Amino acid sequence: MREPDGGVEPDVDGVEQAVSTGLLPGWDEVEQHVGDALERYLPRTSGAVADYIPVLAAADPELFGIAVAEVSGALHSAGDAEAGFSIQSIAKAFVYAMVCDELGHDTVRERVGVNNTGLSFNSVIAIELNNGHPMNPMVNAGALATTALVPGATPAEQWERIRTRLSAFAGRQLELDGQVYHSEMLSNQRNKAIARLLESYGRIDRDPLEITDIYTRQCSLTVTARDIAVMGATLADGGVNPVTGVRVVSPQVCRDTLSVLAATGMYERSGEWLFEIGLPAKSGVSGGIVAIAPGKGAIGTFSPRLDSAGNSVRGQRATAYLSRTLGLNLFASAARPPRTESHR
């Protein structure tokens, strides 16, 4: 059944599906499409700014920024691509990647899981339905279990490790927004309850309240659309940040993370998203979305008005448009030119 607000509505009728050549189009063409995406969806004012975390309710709903980072290091942007916002759930993708890098594919798969729960990002019932297994690393339960796996002798060490590694993905030092952190700490009873529940099932070995604190910090890092595009492009580039040239994670970790994002990155709309847009992606409740085209680059968008699943309305449409015009959809192909006898 469609959600009342229409679910993932790409709004790209009449936009031709470019087919992937394995490369992004030339610089001018990417610039043009990024600018067109902004202009096309700027008039969209449906959706609502998240308000369950008080400080998020104060976000300017008119902001709209788009950035594309290529694996060559080239950057394109339009609108408010330099506006700061708290990374929120998008951090889950990168903390997951760092934990996979440090502990390996099998440990993380066993402890956290790789499947979609089909339920909202802060669902408690999903944990109960799965006998305490968080299942999905891209919703709060799975992310809390993932954060608990971050190596470190103390919570301060774990936090520093997260901040350092996420900064390496972005190619600059990311800072905590104290106002967002404090506002969320006063309103995160549900996340604390989820962490306690996971502890009761043996899925969190550390102090659940300390883990919730670190998780809340990781959600409160300030980023821009440009930052998340560069972070995504690092996953598109086999784990090397294309702007700084620094290796952040291994190619295998990128592959694992992107497959998890394809299945789970857009909460309970992940299947619909993949069907319409065809790219692994992660969204956050402050209005950011990062979508990754392996081997090519990433799109970062920011616009605070959300649909009922918590995904940015304009961001989804801009990403759909760019996936289509830049030829990024992983599932789009065209018939091969006529076969010659020898290759039949």
Q: Which residues bind ligand GLN (CB under 6 A)?
A: 88-89, 121-122, 140, 184, 191, 219, 284-285, 310
Separation CA 98–CA 159 (nearest Å): 12
Q: 């402890």: which residue's tokens?
A: 111
Q: Which helix (H) or strand (E) holds 112?
A: helix 105-112
The residue nearest ligand GLN at its CB is 89
Between residues 70 and 184, which has the closer beta carbon with respect to ligand GLN? Answer: 184
Minimum distance of ligand GLN from residue 229's CB (angstroms): 18
Minimum distance of ligand GLN from residue 25's CB (angstroms): 32
Between residues 81 and 221, which has the closer beta carbon with respect to ligand GLN? Answer: 221
Separation CA 222–CA 171 (nearest Å): 13
Between residues 78 and 127, which has the closer beta carbon with respect to ligand GLN? Answer: 127
Structure tokens at 231: 């972070």
3-state SS, residue 290: strand
Minimum distance of ligand GLN from residue 325's CB (angstroms): 27
What is the spatial order of strands in the sheet that 65-70 belongs to?
A: 75-79, 65-70, 297-302, 288-293, 281-283
Minimum distance of ligand GLN from residue 88's CB (angstroms): 3
Q: 């857009």: which residue's tokens?
A: 266
Check: CB of residue 93 under 8 Å from CB of residue 138.
yes
Separation CA 120–CA 308 (nearest Å): 10
Minimum distance of ligand GLN from residue 139's CB (angstroms): 8
What is the chain's length? Answer: 344
> Helix-strand-coil percent breakdown of the chain, rounded to 5?
45, 10, 45
Between residues 93 and 328, which has the closer beta carbon with respect to ligand GLN? Answer: 93
Minimum distance of ligand GLN from residue 27's CB (angstroms): 33
Minimum distance of ligand GLN from residue 156's CB (angstroms): 20
Separation CA 322–CA 344 (nearest Å): 34
Between residues 116 and 325, which has the closer beta carbon with respect to ligand GLN? Answer: 116
Between residues 137 and 310, which has the closer beta carbon with respect to ligand GLN? Answer: 310
Q: Which helix (H) or strand (E) holds 90?
A: helix 90-103
Separation CA 232–CA 245 (nearest Å): 14
Between residues 191 and 325, which has the closer beta carbon with respect to ligand GLN? Answer: 191
